[in-house]
Structures are given as C-alpha cells and as structure tokens.
Copies of this chain bind each other. A is one copy, B any other.
Amino acid sequence: MAKKGNLLSFRPDIKVLDATIRDGGLVNNFDFSDEFVKELYKTNIKAGVEYMEFGYRADKDIFNEEEFGKWKFATDDDIYKIVGDSDMVKTAIMADVGRCNYKRDIHPKNESPVDLIRVAAYIHQIPAAIEMIEDFFNKGYETTCNIMAVSTAQLADIKAALEMLGQSPVNGIYIVDSYGSMYPEQISPLTETYVEVAEKYGKYIGMHAHNNQQLAFANTIESCAHGASYLDGTYAGMGRGAGNCSIELLLSFLKNPKYNIYPVLKFLEDYMVPLQKNPDVQWGYNVPYMITGHLNQHPRTAIAATKDNRTDYTNFYNELMDRD
C-alpha cells in the first residue's frame, strides 16, 4: 500500500486523542485535581485536539472507590462537571472487558457527556468486547476496540479478530503496543493489515504506543504514514511505565494548521513540570523499561524496579531471562 500523505500535506482524517488522564492516571492513581483536568480540557480546545479521554469507567463493585481517584470511574456526572455543555473537544472513556459493569454504568448517549467509548480487550476477549460494542452502539455511542498487547498476539488471531470487528458496529480499531516492544518496521506491515480490514468495512484505525524503546512517537508517525488516523498522545508522554507518545511531539509533527503547539507548551510549564517534580509520580523511559520492551514482557517488573530506584540492570536482566 502506498503511504498516505507526506510531511507537508495534511490529512483531514487524522484525529489526535489526548489520553493523559486515562493512561497518566495509571501513574498517579487517577489523582488529578479538578483544576488540572479543567485546564487540560481548555488546553485541548485551544490546541485543536479532537478527543480527550477522561479515564476508565471501572466497576465500583470490583475496585474500591476509596482507593482510587475519581477518574478510575469517570462517571458521567464528573465528566459533566468539567465539560458542561461544551462540545469543542469530544470526550472519551475507556471500558475494560470484564472490569466495567456496562449494562448498569453506561447510560444512553443522550443522557451522557461521553462521545466515544474505547473498549480495551486482549485478543482472546474480542467476543466479549463485541458484546460491549453492540451495547454501546445501541445506546448511541461512537466506539473503538483497542486490541491490547498486540506484540504478543499471533498474526492469524489478529486477522480473525479484525474480521470479527469489521462485521461489528465498531467505528475504529486500535493498534496497542502495550509493552513498547515493537519497531517501526513491524508497525508498518501491522498497520497495513489493520487498514486492509478498515477499508473493507469502513472503519478507522488508531495507534496507541508506549515508549519503552524510545519509539512511541516514531511508531505513532510510522503508523500514521501507513494509514492509521486516530493518534493517541499524552502531555509530556505521561502514562504507565515508560509512558506514551508525547502529544507535544505529535502536534509539532502534524501539519494540519488546526493544531497549535503554544497552549500545549503553556500547559506543560504550568501543570506537567510541577507534576514531574513529585517523586511519587514517575514515568518515562529508563533502562528497565527498555529491557521489558526488548523482551516483549509486561512492564510490571520494570515499574517495580523503577519504584525501588534499582539500577542493578544486569541483575534485573537476569531475573527476567530466568522467568522464561
């Protein structure tokens, strides 16, 4: 497939989604102040960002409300308190398969400030994801299916999942490199596999990258060049472990004149710099994350190593090699 567009063109199909509160929430236990979230929303409006993800709609029967900030549960009421009647930026939430009581907690679209529900599923959970997607579709929402940890899935399974999703009412399908283990030369053919199904069924393709090998931004723009149109970023790359694609890099790269880097820089200096000084809120590339990414493993061991300020990289490497 030919590449779509080049550096000086812009593609009207491209949408940027700010996942700071949701993926960043995994770093600070979803403990963002209302001021932070409101200013972030205003910044996204000024920056031309199309979507803002407000968190998970997690099941309060499974997760104790006392133990998390409110964006773990991202209720309609809490989102409404931020956005009011504004529709300048579309609002998104994430619903994990098996962790969202969606029949109870997802209300009809006309009673909710939410526009897009992103269903996160591992490859074996696709049938369960489709059940949720059908429910959300019937309730009036735009939906995506975010196929997690795709670097550990078999290509045949991915193709089967894409076919099933193609025939579902889902609007978009996301490539999610949860472990930050993929290289651009793997992202391009994988994107083309997704785009083939997307073109057949009229869906769009999205990209959500992690920065374990300093490739989150590179993989996002590689995927974009090969046809992905929904691109996730977070402010200062805030997100689990090594973090995500920095939205400031992404918006500087995209040539669509609707995007504006200036308010993004302002939010970084006013809100992200203070957050980065909090020793309990850690994210970003380091050697343990590189190692889990390289070994195509979940970052949980590297998160623990980072929390403990471990720099005995050779021991850490040996521990991970021993588990296989």
> Interface-forming stretch among A20-28, A61-69, A77-85, A309-317?
A309-317
A314 touches B214 (CB 8 A): no
Interface check A287, CB cutoff 8 A:
yes
Which of B183, B225, B269 is the one whose CB lies under 8 Å from A312? B269
Q: Which residue of B lies closest to A219 (CB)?
A: B218
Copies in the complex: 2
B249 touches A214 (CB 8 A): yes
Given the interface contacts A290-B249, A311-B273, does A222 sit within 8 Å of B268 by beta carbon?
A: no
Interface of A is mostly: helix
Set of chain B residues within 8 Å of A216, measured between Cβ atoms: 214
- The distance in angstroms between the C-alpha atoms of A5 and B81, with both chains bound, is 54
Set of chain B residues within 8 Å of A183, measured between Cβ atoms: 7, 221, 253
- The distance in angstroms between the C-alpha atoms of A248 and B262, with both chains bound, is 34
Interface check A252, CB cutoff 8 A:
yes
B184 touches A222 (CB 8 A): yes
Interface check A266, CB cutoff 8 A:
yes
Interface residues of A (CB under 8 A from B): 3, 6-7, 183-186, 211, 213-218, 221-222, 225, 246, 248-249, 252-253, 261-262, 265-266, 268-269, 273, 287, 290-291, 294, 311-314, 317
